[in-house]
Structure 1
């Protein structure tokens, strides 16, 4: 079932207008008919079953509330910035796999350079990518992309459980560190995090974890972590 986000609070039996872009997608791209039903998530992250009505505008009538507990604990993914095409792929898949927040990281070995004049447009574009991915995957909450930060600023995004993938860690397995608590995890750039950066994260009570014997690309490593988190939480 198709899903859209609206920036307002919805009530049962309420009739509302979809925005111009959503209306075009429903009417012209999907060619939906009057009476067809979709999921809509409102500004409170409540999920509703909505019936489509189409005349001069595309409207929705709220039929009932759908209880969705799929996004219970927050997952903050702190990812070192990588090249544009890989970064966009990372954002899309992170949203599909359940990240509630993506924090672009600038570390010592980050190659990607920030163009401050274009940054606001980039952030808007990044959030558009994650919004579309959340709609496609029927998530009941958005995945927000934050402004890029330096590693020293990561204390703003600490959770109940904080981990960092580290290639030199051999004893602590990722799956053993996953529970139902909110989690922040850090994935460094292709060149990895420096020892000083690892020590700094450890001073903030980050736990170093192993992702296994293989060396993964930066974008692959983050998606691997999200997959393990999802699998482990679904088994609890």
Structure 2
């Protein structure tokens, strides 16, 4: 399997040209992955451009590549959001990682009423940076052409405003319709996942007032770390993406 790295500054290139991957990515490729001359190498810019290349030379902190092919991917529609409630330990991070590998387009950190983990003050920027790093590494691991966006840290009222015009699907055991039976249209989709203690009745009421669908994933109660990826797999199947 070809090594895959991200170079967000890459705008365009042509077959036969050379690219030098430097900085943290180049150093990782040269000293951690230990790529060798002649090996295949893939490079993307996170916005749909994917380059297949061959390693020409390596140094301590850079890799020189010859471009063999160039492809510009088109983003899929509708876009799918993961609204992930902040959770204790690393359960929210595991959800974000798995959802990225499964093709999520946008991740939004949600400060739910029952979230044990709190992002306040400097923790807000630190938390978003951490999630962005997780998304970036998962994008590379899964060789995705598009790097998901990590949205702002939002409370419920802000979240509902942010998702205006989006089909909000709330995952909750109180749902009466299975997610597999929900009707989809051309709107973007937001999968809302609550924290360990669940979504409060007040939050469910606010989502309902905003036109959200409340659905169930079945009789089993899933952890906050698995509900989002499980729901995304179902949506992918309904959209014919798997």
TM-score, structure 2 normalization: 0.87
Match of 1:162 among 161, 168, 171: 168
TM-aligned CA distance change 1:73 to 1:2, over 3 Å: farther
- Please state whether the residue corresponding to 1:234 is helix, strand or coil: coil
Match of 2:37 among 18, 34, 42: 34
Q: What pairs up with 1:175-186 in 2 under 5 angstroms? A: 175-177=180-182, 179=184, 181=186, 182-186=188-192
Measure the CA separation in 2 of the matches of 1:5 and 1:95: 15
- Please state whether the residue corresponding to 1:139 is helix, strand or coil: coil
Question: In the alignment, which residue of structure 2 is the partner of 1:233?
Answer: 239
Task: Provide the alpha-carbon RMSD of the alignment.
Answer: 2.2
TM-aligned CA distance change 1:165 to 1:128, over 3 Å: same
Q: Residues 36 and 58 of structure 2 are in contact (CA less than 8 Å); yes or no, is this contact kept in structure 1?
A: no
Question: In the alignment, which residue of structure 2 is the partner of 1:11?
Answer: 13
Match of 2:114 among 109, 118, 125: 109
Match of 1:216 among 196, 213, 222: 222
Question: In the alignment, which residue of structure 1 is the partner of 2:146?
Answer: 141
- Please state whether the residue corresponding to 1:7 is helix, strand or coil: coil
Count of matched residue positions in the alignment of Structure 1 and Structure 2: 235
Q: Residues 52 and 61 of structure 1 are in contact (CA less than 8 Å); yes or no, is this contact kept in structure 2?
A: yes
Question: In the alignment, which residue of structure 2 is the partner of 1:92?
Answer: 97
- The question of 1:51 aligning with 2:54 is answered yes
Measure the CA separation in 2 of the matches of 1:133 and 1:71: 18
Unmatched 5+ residue regions in structure 1?
none
TM-aligned CA distance change 1:230 to 1:159, over 3 Å: farther
Measure the CA separation in 2 of the matches of 1:178 and 1:233: 11
- The question of 1:22 aligning with 2:25 is answered yes
Unmatched 5+ residue regions in structure 2?
none
Moved over 6 A (4+): none
TM-aligned CA distance change 1:60 to 1:72, over 3 Å: farther
Measure the CA separation in 1 of the matches of 2:222 and 2:151: 24
TM-score, structure 1 normalization: 0.89
